[in-house]
Structure 1
């Protein structure tokens, strides 16, 4: 039982749970109060129950339905039906606490329109609601009750706005943290690359130079020993000359090995970037033997990936995201797609334009395609950029 509750809570935000609990309490109290109502009200028991059920179904339809799915703007329809069901309950059941249902609705409104628009809608809602309520049930003190509940509605809207801002700030901080971790991974590798380059240069310029001079001197010494007829000395000089040549060859091989193993591992940076992305399951596949020539190239791949993730979170409504990096000869290909919904006519905003600009700065190309209703991005970058 505990595991089942925990699993459900993973898919529901705390405010959603609170809204459902509040709806449940209003329903329970309403059913409890029904026997004390008039016969005409009791005759509407089935209709009241259906409206309560419709309210909660529409609540989840408005809050959980993918806004970029095949259903288009169905979430807005559910929002309207949710309000209509609350009005229907009010017209069938003369209880003063029924406006609690519209307070819940008012808290949801900030996710569908700007604050100013939501405030005007709520003011109009309260006026219409209590005008109908007073006319339908001939209640006293309707103006006072309406004013009181009106402040509750506005308070709900303000709290939802603050929650939304806090959530956005948290997501931005999370995104920046992931970007910093990815950049840190790349900078660490870039530092190691520079250090290996410095060591290779020192080995080549200093040790290699001295060993070359030593082999030349030993070769000269060998000729002098041969001229003087000192065969024993010549033999030792020749052995030293052979060892010096072997050591020089080993140094050159070591320098070549160091230079050959300077490729930047982009996988660790990508893993840091995609770890903990909110509301999106990220799948990544990076070719194991991929060789990136420069920090600039690796950084561009990471930045384009980040831009694509952000674009998916903001616009596509996807729940899953796929990213792959492969090497084809002297070209690196980054392929990105998701299971969201892209507009039929794709218009490049700041995000997609930024991806194109980053790729073109390195002499690469970008293709945007709409496949299976989702957006597929294919980036090809030349792998011959030198720092």
Structure 2
């Protein structure tokens, strides 16, 4: 139920200890309120719940937790007359950058420091703490900038890795298309040139063996049978070349799934699915690529993706599902709209399911 990167867990615990221990064991204070112990504990628990990478609860719950965490930090300002409480706010700002737009984070920084100045001036009667407020505002801005840079670098690395995977899959698609084109050319040449020449030879041999001398009949009959066998072999080769035309979708999907960054792709392909028409394979491959892109871009908490391809009642069924958390209602942007258009072009159907946790896509296309 709880899943944390070791570095994040250690950072949170050390930061919490750096604030809670000096605050609780401050010798200059005569009495520590029980509410202060409770709020320090709430800050730790709420922070751990927010940064939890498990998908047991969604964004709506996390936003509630963030609000409660902010309320706890704000309330501590009325219980602890130390500016060290703002270290909690620095940690909160770093976490908020993953859930809110950058402008909202800047608004939070100015609002929290405004609250800090007002509380210390009018509640604690310590005057305007401009120096402390300015110092901790610099810490907030530094934490926010570094967090944003980390997010940008992570997104750039994921985009580069995914682009490389897409390029390799597309290269495999083009090489397969070129090989199919070459097989078709060879099949046509064999049929049009060699096949016609052998047919003409058989006709001439047939006429000759019917009008030849009895002493030459045996040799002409052998040549006639050899020519018929050669024609049958040529026709078999032509048929085999044409029937072998199809795209090896399994290899491309396997290659793409192995090179997908951050998200672990679980690929399941039915043994019944072998060669697929080039147009169908191209459509399904592009849909999988777009689904992976959407997951990496819009579901930062996603860690696993299931991709299942099977043959069902004369159709190919492609099922895609991730375990990411939906931030809200799914809007048909350019990616999903493009997927619908691609599927419709080959007389298929795309179903989008958001009733469960994560996003599920089901694609059905004719399997010929």
**1:264/1:294 contact within 8 Å kept:** yes
What does residue 27 of structure 2 align with? 36
What does residue 58 of structure 1 align with? 46
2:285 to 302, 320, 326: 302
**Distance of 1:344 and 1:29 partners within structure 2:** 41
* 2:271 counterpart SS class: coil
What does residue 5 of structure 1 align with? none
**Distance of 1:341 and 1:147 partners within structure 2:** 37
* 2:320 counterpart SS class: strand
**Distance of 1:52 and 1:348 partners within structure 2:** 43
* 1:348 counterpart SS class: coil
1:353 to 337, 342, 345: 337
The alpha carbon displacement at 1:30 in A equals 4.3
Q: Which runs of 5+ in 2 are unaligned?
A: none
What does residue 145 of structure 1 align with? 132
1:124 to 111, 116, 141: 111
Instruction: Tell me how large the CA RMSD over aligned residues is.
Output: 3.1
The alpha carbon displacement at 1:300 in A equals 0.4
Provide TM-score, normalisation by structure 2. Answer: 0.86
Provide TM-score, normalisation by structure 1. Answer: 0.82
2:84 to 97, 105, 121: 97
Q: 354-363 vs 128-137, which deviates more?
A: 128-137
**1:292/1:383 contact within 8 Å kept:** no
* 2:347 counterpart SS class: coil
What does residue 249 of structure 1 align with? 232
Aligned positions of 1:1-387 closer than 5 A: 11-12=4-5, 14=7, 17-30=10-23, 34=25, 36-40=27-31, 43-44=32-33, 47-64=35-52, 73-139=60-126, 142-225=129-212, 228-229=213-214, 231=215, 233-315=216-298, 318-328=302-312, 330-339=314-323, 347-370=331-354, 372=356, 375-383=359-367
**Distance of 1:294 and 1:71 partners within structure 2:** 40
The alpha carbon displacement at 1:345 in A equals 7.1
**Distance of 2:331 and 2:145 partners within structure 1:** 34
**2:173/2:282 contact within 8 Å kept:** yes
Q: Which runs of 5+ in 1 are unaligned?
A: 1-7
**1:65/1:75 contact within 8 Å kept:** no
**Distance of 1:169 and 1:207 partners within structure 2:** 55
The alpha carbon displacement at 1:125 in A equals 0.7
The alpha carbon displacement at 1:241 in A equals 1.4
Deviations 1:287-333 (A, max 9, x none): 22325453221110011122233344455665443222223465322
Q: How many residues align?
A: 366
Deviations 1:118-153 (A, max 9, x none): 212211111111331344444467112211211221
**1:99/1:149 contact within 8 Å kept:** yes
1:58/1:342 Cα in 2 relative to 1: closer, same or farther (>3 Å)? closer
Deviations 1:164-188 (A, max 9, x none): 2222222222222222222122222
**Distance of 2:326 and 2:30 partners within structure 1:** 54
